[in-house]
Structure 1
Amino acid sequence: MPALTLRDLERDGLLVHPTVPPQVEHEAAEIARDLLASTRQLSGWAERHHAAMAAARAAYHARNGAGQDPAPTTGPDISRARPAM
């Protein structure tokens, strides 16, 4: 299973083999390092705004009654959608 995952990451351009023939050593490709930088930025944003979001959620529950958040909608009504041609 790990070999399949590594091949999938290589196929998607997220992993490169630094040696030929391929060995068990791998390193992240440039696009994977770019993705990591973006992920770290998003994580930092979430950490910085966690308290404000928790306060907004508490205020929402105070205005609308305590309890769980409303159930998500199931999406648009597609019962009248035309079939694909």
Structure 2
Amino acid sequence: MDTAPGVRACWDLDAYFATCPSRTVLTAIADKWTCLLVDALRDGPLRFGELRRRLDGITQKSLTKTLRDMERDGMLTRTVYPTIPPKVSYELTDLGHSVTELMAGIKSWSEQHADEIVTARERYDSQTRQEVQPVTTTPR
């Protein structure tokens, strides 16, 4: 049975195909907050407030959503301790630890090449501003 061009069952997990479930995994791990959370948690469990202070600029809403998504994906565990107020900590699972080197590499590469990227963006933006602008005419 033939399938429509570009569509086929994803039995061999090929992320180039739209129907492949690995695309949802790529979406999850390609998120900047996921990358930074994995790296922040690589050395052990941290509490919500510690994570929020560590990830400067993350909102409470984004942190909560990313932690929930990572827990749903099996990348971390959430432990609630029976104290008043309740103490909650987050820790990477074996699956979460399996991606720490990749995330650390992405973070490191980003830090090492930030100046080059910013310079390239500025050069590009400057060139596009200098390109020919549309000619406007005055009404008769």
TM-score by length of 2: 0.31
Q: Which has the higher contact order (CA 8 A, sep 6+)?
A: 2
TM-score by length of 1: 0.47
- Considering fraction of residues, name the structure with more strand: 2
